[in-house]
Amino acid sequence: MDTLTRLTRRVEREQKARKEAEALLEKKSFELYQSNQELKSLAAELADKEERNRLLLESSSDGIYAIDREGLCSICNPAAAHMLGYESPEQVIGKNAHMLFHHSHQDGSKYPEEECVLQTGLEKEIKLNVLFWRVDGSPIDTECRAAPIKQNGEVVGSVVSFTDISERLETEMQLRQAQKLESIGQLAAGIAHEINTPTQFVNDNIHFLQEAFEDYHKLMSLYDQFLQASEETVQEDKKKEVNLLVEEIDLEYLQEEIPQAISQSIDGLKRIAKIVRAMKEFSHPGEHEKVLIDINNAIETTIDVSRNEWKYHAELETNFDSDLPQVPCLPGEFNQVILNLIVNASHAIADVVTNSGNMGKILISTQQDGDWVEITVSDTGGGVPEEIQGRIFDPFFTTKEVGKGTGQGLAITYSVVVDKHGGTIVLDSQQGVGTVFTVRLPIKVEQLEVQDNE
Amino acid sequence: MNKRILFVDDEKNVLNGLKRSLRSQQKDWDMSFVLGGQSALEMSYNMDFDAVVTDLRMPGIDGLHVVKELKKHHPEIICIILSGHSDEEMIMQSTGVAHQFLAKPCTTRDLINMLTRIFSLKDFLGNKKLQSLVAGMKTIPSMPETYNKILRQLASPNNSLKEIGDTIKQDPAMTAKILQIVNSAFLGLGRHISDTGEAVSLLGLGIVKSLVLSIGIFSQFDEKKVMDKAFSLEKVWQHSLKVADLARRIAVAENAEKEVVDNSFLAGMLHDIGIIILEEHFSEEYGRVRELAQTKGIPMYQAEYEMFGATHAAVGAYLLGLWALDDPLPSTNTRRFVGAAWMVFRH
C-alpha cells in the first residue's frame, strides 16, 4: 500500500465520518430546535397561566392573601391591599400579616399572634367574621375564609380570602333599629295611657284634697273662735254652729276619704315613676357591648313597658328562677327579643278572644339548665299553623295584614338570639292550644366569641 | 230635677278620684260610678241617665260598646268618652258614636264646665223629641254639589289640603263636623280651633280622607224627603255664608284678635244650622211653621216656638254644644259682629 492509497482511504473515512457528523449535527440541531420550540410554547403557556392567575388575583373583588408557616405574607392581591388601605400589595408581602392588620381586638386591646383565630386556617378550612385594621387605624368588619396550603402533603401556609361586610352589618343594624323604633312607636301610645290614667286620678284626688282643706280651714277657724271664748261665755249657739258646719262639710266623709285620697295618689305617682323608669331601662340607648344582666329584672321591665299591649285581653304570669345567674347580654337587644315575644303572644291571644270578653294567658318563665339560661314565653293563642312554622323566623314573613308589622320581629329576634348571643330559639306550637317560644342563652361569654362553621 | 250621670272606668282608682273631685256637684248631679262595661250595662237597664262618661278601652265590654248600647235605649243620652288613649283608629271609631272625646288627664273644672254647658243647652231646648234627635245626629247634610266636590277632590291623586280646606270652609255642615273632630281632645291641642283650614291641616290628608270616605262624617241633603216646598238648602247656606263673611270683615275692621275673627266667621256660618236639622227631620211641621208665621203675622222664631216649643236657634245651640263647638268663652264682640252682619242679611 502506498501512501496515496492510505491517504485516499483516510480522506474517504474522514469524509464519511464528517458526513455522519454533519448528519448527526443536523439531527441534533433539529432536535434542539424542536425542543426549543417546545420550551418556547411551554414558557408561553406558563406565562399565560401565570398571567391568568395574576389576573384572577388582581381582578378578584375579594381580598386574598397567603401566609407561610411563620405568618409572613407571601401573596397579597390588590383588593386585599386596597381594602386594608395600602397602595400596593408590595407593602404587605413579606410582612407578618397578623401584626400588620389583625393586631388588636375591637376594644383596641392587644391581640397576641399566638391567639389569632386565623391560625386555625393552617389546620382546616374555617369561615368566620373577623375585624381587621386598616393602615390608617380604622377597623373593617370582614367575613373571612381560611384554608391550609399543602405541598407534597405538607402544610406550607394558609390562604385567606375576605370580604368587607361593614355595609351589610350597617344594613342589618338599620333594620334592627327600624324594628326597634317601630315597636317603641307602638309602645309609646300604650305608655302614654299608662301615665295618663294615674295622672287623672292623682289630679282628681288633689282637687278633692284642696276643697277638703278649705272645708277643714273653715272648721278650724270656727274651733279657734270657740277656744278663744272664755269658759263662761261658751254659747250654745257657737256649739250649734260647729255642729252645723261639721254636717255641712260632711266631716265624717272627709275623715274617711282624705287618707285614701292621699295613699291612692301616692300609689298613682309610684306607678308613673315606675313606668318612666322602665321606659328608660328598656331602651338602653348607646349600649353596644355585652354586659352581665339580671334576666328576670330585664323581663319585668319589658312587661311593664308593654302592659298596655296585653292587659285588655290577657293575664300575664311569671315563674322566675330566683337563683338565675347573670348572663352576658346586649341589654337593649335582649329586651327587644322579650318585647317581640310578648307582643306576638298578645296578638295571638287577641285574635282568639276578640270581643268575647274572655282573657287569655301569657306565661313567662326562666330557669337554668347547666351552662344555659332558658326563657320560655307561652301563650294561649291560636297556635302557628304547621305549614308556616318553618318560615316564621324568615325576614319579611308575616301573616298580619299590611301595615300591622314589617314582618321583621321574629327574624330580628332570631338574629339577636342566635347570631349576637350564640343562643337558640325554638318554637313549639299546637293549633288551638297555643305557642311556646323557648330561648336559650349561654351563661359563659367564651362560647360566643367565634362562630365556627366547618 | 237633678241630672243623672253614669261614670264608667275599668280602674277603681279613677272612679274614686272622680267621685271625690266631683263631691261639690252632688247637689246638682246624681252620680253613679261603675267598674267596667258589664256593670255599666246592667245598671243602665234599671236606671235612666242623662249622660254617660266612660273610659274607652276596657277588658271585655269596652266604652264604645257601652255607648252604643245605652244610645239604643236612651237616644237622648249625652255620651262623653274620657280616655287616656290617643289611638287614632279608636278615636275614628268613636267619632259619630260619642259626642265628645276628653283626654285623660282632664281637670275636674273642665269636666264640670263641659257637662254643665251641655245640660243647660239641653234644658234650654226643652222638647224631648228634639233632644233625642239632636243627640242622635251624626252628620248634618251638605249641599249635594259641595258633597260631590269634596269626594272628587279626595279621590283625585293631585289633591291638596288647601283645596279641601277651602271646600269645607264653604259648607256649614262640613265646617261644623270637621271642627267637632279636631276639637275633640284626641289631638291634644288644649286650644280651641275655629279655622277650618287649620283644622284640615292638623288632621292631615290621610285622616280627613278616611273620616270622609270610610267613617262618613259628611252627608248630602236628600231633597226628595223635603215636604216644605218653600225651603231651599242652598238659600240657607248662601245666607249663612254671607253673614259669616260680613261678620268676619266687621271683626277685621274692628281690629279684633284672630280668635274673635275666626269665631265671628264660624258663628255666622253656623247660626242657621238648627233650620237644616228641623227641615231634614220635621219638614212637614216646618212647612206649617212658615204658614203660621204668615197667617198670624208673627216672626218665624215665635212660630217655631208655637210648633216645637223651641226655636231653631235652641236646636242649633244644643247641637253645637254637644259637638263642643260653642265658644267656651263667649265673647261679646263675636256676638256683636255676627249680630250686625245678620241684621244686614236677615230674611
Contact list in A for residue B90 (CB cut-off 8 A) is none
Q: What is the ipTM of this complex?
A: 0.81
Q: Which of B79, B100, B125 is the last residue of a domain?
A: B125
Which stretch of A345-354, A371-380, B178-187 has the lowest confidence by average pLDDT? Answer: B178-187
pLDDT reading at A14 higher than 80: yes
Mean pLDDT of B164-171: 88
Does position A399 have pLDDT exceeding 70, yes or no?
no
What percentage of chain A reaches a pLDDT higher than 70? 93
User: CA dist B281 to A39, A154, B278, Å?
Assistant: 110, 101, 5
| Three cell numbers written together for B91 | 278615636
Mean of all residue pLDDT scores within chain B: 86
Contact between A282 and A331 under an 8 Å Cβ cutoff? The reply is: no
Given a cut of 70, whether residue B186 has pLDDT beyond it is no
pLDDT of A114-136, one tens digit each? 888 888 888 888 888 888 999 89
Instruction: Indicate whether B69 and B15 sit together in one domain.
Output: yes
- Residues from chain B contacting residue A194 (CB–CB below 8 Å): 84
Domain of B320, in residue numbers: 223-345
What per-residue confidence (pLDDT) applies to A267? Answer: 95
Question: Both B167 and B245 in a single domain?
Answer: no
pLDDT of res. B328: 53
pLDDT > 90? residue B7: yes
CATH number of the domain that residue B11 is part of: 3.40.50.2300
Specify which residues B183 forms β-bridges with: none
Please report, for the domain that includes residue B240, its CATH number.
Answer: 1.10.3210.10
In a domain, B131, yes or no: no
What percentage of chain A exceeds 90 in pLDDT?
Answer: 30
Residue-level pLDDT at B262:
84
Q: What is the pLDDT of residues B59-90, one digit of tens each?
A: 888 899 999 999 988 889 999 999 887 667 77
**Smallest Cα distance from A192 to chain B, Å:** 7
User: Which residue is closest to A190 within chain B, CA to CA?
Assistant: B85
- Tell me, yes or no, whether B134 lies in a domain: no
Contact A201 B11 (CB under 8 A): yes
pLDDT-wise least confident of A64-68, A75-79, B220-224, B303-307: B220-224
- Confidence at residue A447, expressed as pLDDT on a 0 to 100 scale: 41
Q: If residue B75 lies in a helix (H) or strand (E), which one and from where to where?
A: none
Higher model confidence: residue A246 or residue A227? Answer: A246
By CA distance, what is A267's nearest residue in B? B13
A322 bridge partner residues: none
- Is the pLDDT score of A437 beyond 90? yes
Instruction: Return the pLDDT at A448.
Output: 42
User: Which residues of B are less than 8 Å from A247 in CB distance?
Assistant: none
Mind telling me how many Å the CA of A309 is from chain B's nearest CA? 11
Residue B234: per-residue pLDDT: 86
Is B130 a domain residue? no
Query: Which pLDDT does position A255 carry in this prediction?
Result: 93
Total number of domains constituting chain B: 3
Looking at residue B229, what is its pLDDT? 76
**Site of grid cell 271642627:** B179
Q: Is 80 exceeded by the pLDDT of residue B161?
A: yes
What is the distance in angstroms between the Cα of B289 and the nearest Cα belonging to chain A?
Answer: 48
Q: Are residues B227 and B214 part of one domain?
A: no
Q: Average model confidence (pLDDT) for chain A?
A: 86
Please tell me which of the candidates A193, A208, A311 has its beta carbon nearest to residue B85. A193
pLDDT at A325: 93
Per-residue buried b or exposed e for A151-162, using 16+ beta carbons within 10 Å of the residue's own CB: eeeeeebbbbbb
Q: Is the pLDDT of residue B190 over 70?
A: no
**Same structural domain for residues B229 and B320?**
yes
Whether residue B253 lies inside any domain: the answer is yes
Q: Are residues B106 and B164 in the same domain?
A: no
Residue B347, pLDDT > 60, answer no
Do B299 and B318 share a domain, yes or no?
A: yes
A215 to chain B, any CB pair closer than 8 A? The answer is no
Per the CATH hierarchy, to which homologous superfamily does domain A59-164 belong?
PAS domain (3.30.450.20)
Sheet holding A434-442, edge to edge: A314-319, A360-369, A372-379, A434-442, A424-430
For residues B109 and B11, state if they share a domain: yes
Q: Examine the pLDDT at A44 and tell me if it is beyond 60.
A: yes
Measured CA to CA, the distance from residue A160 to residue A197 in angstroms comes to 61
Asked if residue B254 is part of any domain, the answer here is yes
* For residue B109, pLDDT beyond 70: yes
Note whether A207 contacts B107, CB cutoff 8 Å.
Answer: yes
Question: Which of A73-87, A389-403, B131-145 is predicted with the least confidence, judged by mean pLDDT?
Answer: A389-403
Mean pLDDT computed over A57-83: 89
Please check whether residue B136 lies inside any domain of the structure. no
Same domain, B106 and B181: no
Confidence of residue A192 (pLDDT cuts 50, 70, 90): confident
According to the model, what pLDDT value does residue A404 have? 57
Closest CA to B146 of B92, B95, B201, B196: B196
Q: Is the pLDDT of residue B183 over 60?
A: yes
Tell whether B239 and B308 lie within a shared domain.
yes
Range name among A95-99, A254-258, B120-124, B342-346 with the lowest pLDDT average:
B342-346
On whether both B231 and B169 belong to a single domain, the answer is no
Q: How far apart are CA A260 and CA A449, in angstroms?
A: 56
Q: Are residues B196 and B290 in the same domain?
A: no
Provide the percentage of residues in chain B whose pLDDT is more than 70.
94
Grid coordinates in use for B39?
256593670
Q: What is the pLDDT of residue A452?
A: 42
Chain B, residues 2-41, CB within 8 A of chain A, namely 11, 13-14, 16-18, 20-21, 23-24, 38
- Residue where a domain stops, chosen among B220, B235, B257: B220
- Give a yes or no: residue B23 inside a domain: yes
Identify which of A324, A312, A319 has the alpha carbon closest to the alpha carbon of residue A364: A319
Percentage with pLDDT > 90 across chain B:
21
Q: Which three cell numbers stand for residue A341?
A: 315575644
Mean pLDDT of A395-424: 76
**Inter-chain CB proximity B57 and A261 less than 8 Å:** no
For residue A196, give the nearest of B18, B105, B107 by CB distance. Answer: B105
Residues B38, B17 within the same domain: yes
User: Does B205 score more than 60 pLDDT?
Assistant: yes
pLDDT of residue B268: 86
Q: What is the pLDDT of residues B249-273, one digit of tens each?
A: 998 998 888 888 888 888 888 888 8
Q: What is the C-alpha end-to-end distance of chain B, expressed in Å? A: 38
* Maximum average pLDDT range among A213-217, A399-403, A450-454, B317-321: A213-217
User: Residue B235: inside a domain, yes or no?
Assistant: yes
Q: Is the pLDDT of residue A449 over 50?
A: no
Interface of A with B in 265-294 (CB under 8 A): 267-268
pLDDT over 90 (residue B213) = no
Which residues of B fall within a CB distance of 8 Å from A309?
none
Whether the CB of B58 is below 8 Å from some CB of chain A: the reply is: yes
Contact A260 B16 (CB under 8 A): yes
Query: Among B179, B194, B220, where does a domain finish?
Result: B220
Least confident segment among A135-144, A360-369, B208-217, B314-323: B208-217
Is it the case that residue A318 has pLDDT exceeding 90?
A: yes
Q: Any idea which architecture A284-454 has in CATH?
A: 2-Layer Sandwich (3.30)
